[in-house]
Amino acid sequence: MAEEKKPQRIAKEKKVEKIKERMHSASSIVLSDYCGLDVEEMSDLRKKLRSEGIEYEVIKNTLARLAVKGERYEEGLLPYLRGPTAIAFGYEDPLAGVRILTDFSKEHENLKIKVGIVEGRLIDRERIRELALLPSYEGLLSQVASIIKSPIPGLINVLKGNIRNLILILKGIER
């Protein structure tokens, strides 16, 4: 007779599956050590992350280890799944969570970023700091638009200059 699974084990398996699903659907994942943050600071951080559509959750390391088991970034994440760990799951802008956590860690030295995954690539703490300096997606789009737009006024002036010169020549001929 097959042994029935205990309700606690079933609940843990469901949690592990949910973590796996979130990891697969997230465009960015950032692991951080929150030890030393008080309740007010943690609430403030969660509020900032939530405003950008980022889920921030303290997950037991044993469940997180089970969730990354067999994944391509398993070896990169396992060493960081020790001690207090909170995971930020970003779904829209892959750098929003990176920016918020980096800025928050500058203001609150108790928050320490461990490692992250952005667009499927494992990135270390230093690379996370570099990525945090990049402008947002909308900011990058506006920069590209301004670069594309910048030669247009010069072209218009050149074209106007040719017409202006033609008019001056025609007026000179007219006299």
What pLDDT, on a 0 to 100 scale, did the predictor assign at position 144?
85
Q: Specify the amino acid at residue 70.
A: G
> pTM for the whole thing?
0.74
Confidence of residue 3 (pLDDT cuts 50, 70, 90): low
Confidence of residue 55 (pLDDT cuts 50, 70, 90): very high
Place of tokens 């800025």: 103
Place of tokens 């960081």: 80
Tens digits of residue pLDDT in 65-82: 999 998 888 899 999 999
Tens digits of residue pLDDT in 151-169: 888 778 877 887 888 888 8
Instruction: Give the CA radius of gyration of the chain.
Output: 26
DSSP secondary structure code for residue 6 in this structure: P
- Whether 4 has a pLDDT exceeding 80, the answer reads no
Q: Specify the amino acid at residue 31.
A: L
Could you please report the per-residue DSSP string of 31-46?
EEE-TT--HHHHHHHH
Class of 7-134 in CATH: alpha beta
- Whether 2 has a pLDDT exceeding 60, the answer reads no
Q: Specify the amino acid at residue 60.
A: K
Could you please report the per-residue DSSP string of 74-86?
HHHHGGG-SSS-E
- Whether 105 has a pLDDT exceeding 60, the answer reads yes
Confidence of residue 1 (pLDDT cuts 50, 70, 90): very low
CA angle 25-27-30, nearest 5°? 105
Which is nearest to 36 in space by CA: 116, 108, 97, 115? Answer: 108
Tens digits of residue pLDDT in 20-29: 999 999 999 9
**Domain ranges within the chain, ordered by starting residue:** 7-134, 135-175
Average pLDDT of the chain is 89
Q: What percent of the chain has pLDDT over 90?
A: 58
Which is nearest to 37 in space by CA: 29, 28, 46? Answer: 46
